[in-house]
Amino acid sequence: MKSKTYIILLLLVSYFSSAQNVEKLKTETKKIHDANYTMDFETITNLTYPKVVATIGKEKFQEKLDTDYQNEAYRMRLQLPNPVFQYGEFVKIDGSTFCVILYKNPVRYFYETKLDSNTSLLKANDLREKDRTKDVTFEMSRNSFNVRRISKFVAIADASTNNEWKFFNMDDVAQRQLFETLFDDTIKKQLKL
């Protein structure tokens, strides 16, 4: 009888611990999205996987974020303040917990100089490749592109994050490449990346 009670108690503790972990991940995902939406680069830095920031350097990482959002050519803005996040399964490998998060994340690129039809076609092709989507629309009257894309975060909780959730933004080419360098094919395969 005692062993059954012990097993039930263990299952309940495991269930509540997992539920708290899911809720914490949802909270942190909302925080990093909100920081991207409002261009709060300090919060983005704090929520990004530490090896990303360490590799680039905090100041250069924040400069890159600023350049990604606004530069001499364009201003980029996220369009959805409250996207619906789809959470994959938690995958535990070698003391690290991973979760892939997908969400619709349309963005608009406002160009600073007036684009003609030829230039807009070239820019549209560049954006299709950069944002890995086919759904790019040029709006001549606004001199901007509307890009509909599915974005992806990979959340990781491990020893380097004090088991707190930190993120790789897989929309960012540099972060995606660093993820592929840091984690082997076994992890990528289990995460279906």
Each of the 193 residues of the chain gets a pLDDT tens digit; together they read 555 554 544 443 343 344 448 899 999 999 999 999 999 999 999 999 999 999 999 999 999 999 999 999 999 999 999 999 999 999 999 899 999 999 999 999 999 999 998 999 999 999 999 888 999 999 999 999 999 999 999 999 999 999 999 999 999 999 999 999 999 888 888 998 8
β-strand pairing of 107-111 with 136-139: unpaired
Which helix (DSSP H) or strand (DSSP E) does residue 153 occupy?
strand 150-157
Give the three-class secondary structure for 177: helix
At residue 68, the pLDDT reads 94
At residue 23, the pLDDT reads 94
The 10 Å CB-count burial string (b at 16+, else e) for 54-85 is eebeeeebbeebeebbeeeebebebeeeebeb
At residue 175, the pLDDT reads 95
| Cα 147 from Cα 144, distance rounded (Å) | 10
Q: What are the residues facing 136 on neighbouring strands?
A: 147
Which of these, 1, 25, 14, 4, lies nearest to 167 by C-alpha position?
Answer: 25
